Amino acid sequence: MTSEQLRAFLQVARDGRVSTAAKALGLSQSGLSRQLQSLEAELSTRLLVRTPTGAVLTDPGARFLPHARRALDALAAGVTELERLSGTPSGPVALGTLTTVGAYLLPELIPAFSRLHPEVRPRLSEDRAAVLEEGVARGTLDLAILTLPVRRVDLVTQKLWEESLLLAVPKGHRLTRLGRPVALAEVVEETWVLIPGMAGARALEAACEARGVTPRVALETDNSEAVLRMVERGLGVSLVPELAASSHTTHHVELIPVAKGAPKRQVALVHRGEGYLTAAARALKAFIVEHAKRPSTRGKAK
């Protein structure tokens, strides 16, 4: 019995579909099926049954499930302890981030971290908070920097900073002539450039719902830099976090504070627990916690 076989079994049991589990593990469906067949042959019992709607645990499979989980947890704890004794962080670390963090914070942090730990190889991926959260829960990500709240109670969460959202408008826009913060209720009928599912989009949707209007969206994108570039070109306005606003250098976008309960976002670091982290992941986690500060006060990483 191998750890690969146990991981294959646990992933299928969690996802309920061989195709989904294979993608999460980076295997072909046939490769994953062979792992399951080998495990069942060794145990001389059927653990899973494929149905038209997915893979279902048999009674023996359901009884075996908690033991398989404990076995992998114990193995992970043993590996972590050996790495702790070695004292030298090395190897890959899968870090998931929000697009704004990937664009405006990590180019500052990762080079500084790599100078301290040249043997560690961070692997970065960007997505929405909900997707990053599930990646951590499934074990495809070691760490994730995302927005609160986190839905899963089995994850460890450490708040990094809280920041306001600012209204980004093209230079010369009528709102800049007001000379004061604006309430979201005043701007719900503007044309918008948004990242779906992000804090700015959620705040706008809530404001529009309260006013009984439908947001007029000119463009949806998953690229935070593209949002500001599109605003710069006059396509629409947007709500952007302080992190992006303080890092973006242009004379063609103006930033206006939002009044009356300005929307904010809380940014946090999430992982499954110390027992699941390698020495490399622990080193990166500690560095992020130390250096990822509130955007308005964050200093350069040394």
Distance CA 244, CA 158 (A): 21
Structural Rg of the chain based on CA atoms: 23
> 3-class SS at 241?
strand
- Beta strands 143-147 and 264-271: pairing type? antiparallel
Residues 43, 30: contact at Cβ < 8 Å? no
pLDDT on residue 297: 43
Q: At residue 179, what are phi and psi to the nearest 5 degrees?
A: 70, 25
Contact 246, 295 (CB under 8 A): yes
Contact 263, 162 (CB under 8 A): no
Q: Report the alpha-carbon distance of residue 118 to residue 115 in Å, rounded.
A: 6
Neighbours of 116 (CB within 10 A): 12
The Cα 60–Cα 244 span in angstroms is 52
pLDDT at 87: 65
Q: How far apart are CA 56 and CA 65, in angstroms?
A: 12
In our burial notation (b when 16+ CB lie closer than 10 A, e otherwise), range 178-195 reads eeeebebebbbebebbbb
Rounded distance, CA 259 to CA 265, Å?
15
Q: Rounded to whole angstroms, how far apart are CA atoms 237 and 217?
A: 10
Residues 97-141: pLDDT tens digits? 998 899 889 998 999 999 999 999 999 999 888 899 999 998 899
Distance of CA 92 to the CA centre of its chain: 17
The DSSP element (H or E) to which 49 belongs, if any, is strand 48-51
* pLDDT the model gives residue 117: 94
- The SS3 of residue 105 is coil
Q: How far apart are CA 163 and CA 122, in angstroms?
A: 26
Domains of the chain: 3-85 (1.10.10.10), 89-161+266-291 (3.40.190.10), 162-264 (3.40.190.290)
CB 221 within 8 A of CB 133: no
Q: Is the pTM of this model over 0.75?
A: no
Q: Which amino acid is at 293?
A: K
Query: pLDDT value at position 116?
Result: 94
Task: Look up residue 167 and give its amino acid.
Answer: L
**Which of the residues in the chain have pLDDT under 50?**
297-302
Coil, strand or helix: which one is 117?
A: coil
Count CB-CB contacts under 10 A for residue 74. 11
